[in-house]
Structure 1
């Protein structure tokens, strides 16, 4: 086997393909797969011979150069897809979701793209990106769903209907709010404050927060601007009343954004 054939064999697509589930037509499928693999190997072999012949290059080096070009393209596409997921949605993909999809760590995802990638995506799709919100100590990203569920459970004793906190949470999620919980000031400690903070980003890039705590869903007391305040006594308003107030609040915020 010469260098061309050996290189084509190393690049054999069977080395990268997933196993095909067994079926009644297994033998036929295997025959078709074998024909496909041989055809692909012949294509790769022909490509190597053509490239190496034109450039008077070694087939191994030519194949490595091809793979380097593919890797650069994959890296570019990965960076831009991460930028798209983080910067072009009201409710951006979490770092955890992107990390699991790419096989990268969350830290590497955070630093895996930059503004030039964001600009490239914006130019490609003709859409303006949202600004990246700075994260604060009480605004972690992502939040473990178990932490949210645990906090909602801690709020249940303050309601006559213990299912209401979770139902309000589902309503807020459906309206595009993202949940956050307080963090302890020291590692290994448990946060003493009991609330779920719900954050929503608006078209102009600004955001607002609603606090779900002991029987109440409201904006922070420091929010005093007309139309930007929200307050609901959950048990008194009921789910329908909360939804109506949220619709009015969201409409006002969207109009002003």
Structure 2
């Protein structure tokens, strides 16, 4: 695979992340932050909407032929290249002043995610990857370090991160979730994008959620896989089509799917 093929797209995504970070940080913990409920009863802030609008505006100038899908404004355009945007992954954290949230910007080409940027300015962290170019983290490309998944091979030594236990009950997978939790060395609910970036960095070995949308996963896939990890749905299908997501260092994947891959409740 040509490691330079998506270099300009990755650079554009990083530039957009810089712009959005400035906007979202200006609204983080702001006294006048506007918060509303969407039709699905999940929260949305003025920062979510402004961030996605900023990205779409830039793409309309820089990649006018590409399609876009985002959490707040839905889908626009039809093309073999599609940008996938979550302006603030972790909105509930954002509106409560918890620093674990990120802007996710990804590019899908011919149905496969090939570029991903996850920028978490309140944590002072950013991760990025393009297919064939490895996965990286750092405050900038000039100070970046390459990241790799762990080499843990047994559940007894593995660390497992998840989001909300209630989601596993709603998906009728709570029994499998509990079985996995009891077999691993450690469980922590880092939640949202951060769980998957910690797998990519090799400090967590398993991350999974039973219910996710494309914009929750799209940008994360290239980062995890370029770090050497495995990213599938709960049914074991590679990619970001779901259902949910199971992300591991690869060595543990089949063991994890055996426990949580099928509804058990």
TM superposition score normalised by structure 1: 0.23
The structure richer in strand per residue is 2
TM superposition score normalised by structure 2: 0.23
Greater C-alpha Rg: 1
